[in-house]
Amino acid sequence: MPSSEGFVQGYNAQAAVDIDSYLIVENHITQQSNDKQEIEPTLKGLKETEAHLGKAEGLLADAGYFSADNVKQCETADVVPYISDHRERHNRMWDERFKILPPCPPDAVTAMARQLHTTEGKAIYAKRKSTVEPVLGILKEVMGFRRFHLRGLNAAQGEWNLVCMAWNLKRMYSLGS
């Protein structure tokens, strides 16, 4: 991965978390330095587990995952995208919060952006903060996973699989499964 001092051997860990159970339903690692290319492998992984876990209805992701191609990939996979097209601003003006939205545009990107500005879209997107962020925080702070100890993409993927399985076992115990 590129860094300020050249290239380092680093990995970008990804996890897709179920909103209801908080179980990690898809995980992978990559050597990409940002998340824009990670929607496709996530959708592919979710498709592979569809027979066991059911079909994913929606995909919540922050602005780091946004691109027109990612929105189109979600539509092709018949998954409703909720991907912010910009960083969220705090303390928006009163008139900006309650303005009437224009009619739904025809292309996928602006239709998704419009959906995110509806009351329902905001409520669904807000679940992202309380779903995946706590899981990743617990993996780091409680379970102590802050870095990969193995080298090589396959070895690091195996390590990330073990971390995700450990989380799922811990979570299933909490759920009483």
Note the pLDDT tens digit of each residue in 18-73: 999 999 999 999 998 889 999 999 999 999 999 999 999 999 998 899 998 999 99
Q: Could you tell me the pLDDT band of residue 135, with boundaries at 50, 70 and 90?
A: very high
Is residue 114 pLDDT above 90, yes or no?
no
Mean local confidence (pLDDT), 13-20: 94
pTM assigned to the model: 0.80
Please give the residue that has the higher pLDDT: either 93 or 74.
74
Please give the residue that has the higher pLDDT: either 155 or 86.
155
> What mean pLDDT value characterizes the chain?
86
pLDDT of 27 reads: 97
Report CA-CA distances (Å) from 88 to 8, 112, 125.
Answer: 30, 15, 11
Token digits of residue 79: 């998954």
Q: Could you tell me the pLDDT band of residue 157, with boundaries at 50, 70 and 90?
A: very high
Span of 17-21, 73-77, 92-96 with lowest mean pLDDT:
92-96
Tally DSSP H helices, then E strands, for the chain.
Answer: 8, 6
Span of 29-38, 97-106, 133-142, 159-168 with lowest mean pLDDT:
97-106
pLDDT of 110 reads: 77
**Eight-class DSSP state of 88:** P
Q: How far from the centroid of its chain's Cα atoms is residue 67's Cα?
A: 14
Strand ranges for the chain from DSSP E: 2-3, 6-7, 12-17, 24-30, 58-61, 80-83
pLDDT in tens, 98-108: 666 556 556 77
CB atoms within 10 A of CB 147: 8
pLDDT of 123 reads: 85
pLDDT of 29 reads: 96
